[in-house]
Chains A and B, each alone.
Chain A
């Protein structure tokens, strides 16, 4: 069982190495499409953005632009939808995005992806996968980006909940609306509990993963998931945050499965890849395609010899070179 899985992993790796140039835009396209469709589904206040051709064009554009453009597009979609609902909401969320960028994401632009992933995973009911994955793959600093993502989701969810009050166009109530949105941001107990739970999970998973014990990755994700559930349920008891217990536990189990998958693909593998580089010297232009040699190859078919009288020929000569 394990062996077939490992062979499968090797094959996927080979496939990825070969077709990387086409696969990465495809992944970007799918990610952009999924997130934009989910955003449209949850906060679709602007009808124009909800038409499928618009989403498709933006997703196609994202497929060949850098990764951060997906985040930019998603943020823009969110802001435009909120603008259609009420200008105040859009302003507050814009200010929150700006603060996050100015204070934190300047330092680690790569982590910005988490802020997109978290709302998307919340909508798919598996937000618990994100802190587990960040603990497994990242550093403890990722706790900050995970917290930012949680905040973004909860503000948006709060706005969606109160869209009846916020959506009313009323010149006198402008200031009141600001206050409602800020209150949702500052006094949101469910958000604070989730931020705490996810931050603890990231740090715990990271610490255990780095220990030199057997199965540290598996133990780390188990402990992380357990801590996550316990903190969320404790928070529910203390602050009455109305977290669905069944949803939390089922979501955590699904997230553990995802974390296991991540471990399977990320643990101990060097995804060195085919590279196309260009350079020149005085005489030539060079267009070099460098294909990495694979050290751990898919096992060759070994032939068991029943006839033991003849010595088996040395297999070194017949080994295919990669």
Chain B
């Protein structure tokens, strides 16, 4: 038998899953710490790539000066300085992405609450049907 109430509920849930819920459902399948650390890790990797690009651009921009300087420079000190800049760059970016993704996680959870309630209601409807 077709159960109209159940179909309505399922339709609403399917449309949620298809639109705004799509991302939230996938976020909701992670634990908070797992989700955030994965995203921050991704951020660190992309920040590293971005840093390499920026350094490359800086070298190419003043290529001749760079080649002249490289022989009379204290390479160790320069390397240390570069490392420090890199760490600060990545740290700032990681902190920003931590804030963004923890906000997103809590927002997704909030949005999913209604969805989980609907799931519960659905299982109740199933139980009712089975009892009949």
Which residues of A pack against B, CB within 8 Å?
A: 92, 95, 98-99, 102-103, 106-107, 175, 178-179, 182, 275, 277-279, 281, 284, 286, 288, 290
Which chain B residues numbered 48 to 73 have a C-beta less than 8 Å away from chain A?
A: 49-50, 53-54, 56-57, 60-64
Q: By the criterion CB–CB under 8 Å, are A175 and B11 in contact?
A: no
Q: By the criterion CB–CB under 8 Å, are A178 and B14 in contact?
A: no
> Given contacts A102-B50, A279-B10, A286-B10, is CB(A95)–CB(B57) below 8 Å?
yes
Chain A residues within 8 Å of B43, by CB: 106
A277 to B43, CA, bound (A): 35
B84 within 8 Å of A (CB atoms): no
B97 within 8 Å of A (CB atoms): yes
A-B contact pairs, 11 of them (CB 8 A): A95-B56, A98-B53, A102-B49, A102-B50, A107-B100, A179-B61, A277-B14, A281-B6, A281-B10, A284-B2, A286-B10
A275 to B11, CA, bound (A): 9
How many B residues are at the interface, by size bracket? 20 to 34
Chain B residues within 8 Å of A278, by CB: 14
Residues of B contacting A: mostly: helix
Top 3 closest pairs, chain A to chain B, by CB: A277-B14, A102-B46, A102-B50
Q: By the criterion CB–CB under 8 Å, are A175 and B49 in contact?
A: no
- Besides A103-B46, A175-B64, 16 other A-B contacts (C-beta < 8 A): A92-B57, A98-B49, A98-B53, A102-B46, A102-B50, A103-B47, A106-B43, A107-B100, A175-B60, A179-B62, A182-B60, A275-B15, A277-B11, A279-B10, A279-B11, A286-B11
B7 within 8 Å of A (CB atoms): yes
Counted as pairs of residues, one from A and one from B, with CB atoms less than 8 Å apart, the total is 58
Rounded to whole Å, the gap between the CB of A166 and the closest CB of chain B is: 15
> Given contacts A178-B61, A277-B18, is CB(A288)–CB(B50) below 8 Å?
no
Q: By the criterion CB–CB under 8 Å, are B57 and A103 in contact?
A: no
Chain A residues within 8 Å of B14, by CB: 277-279, 288
Which of chain B's residues has its CB closest to A182's CB? B61
B93 within 8 Å of A (CB atoms): yes
Rounded to whole Å, the gap between the CB of B17 and the closest CB of chain A is: 8
Rounded to whole Å, the gap between the CB of A111 and the closest CB of chain B is: 13
Q: By the criterion CB–CB under 8 Å, are B11 and A178 in contact?
A: no
A182 to B10, CA, bound (A): 56
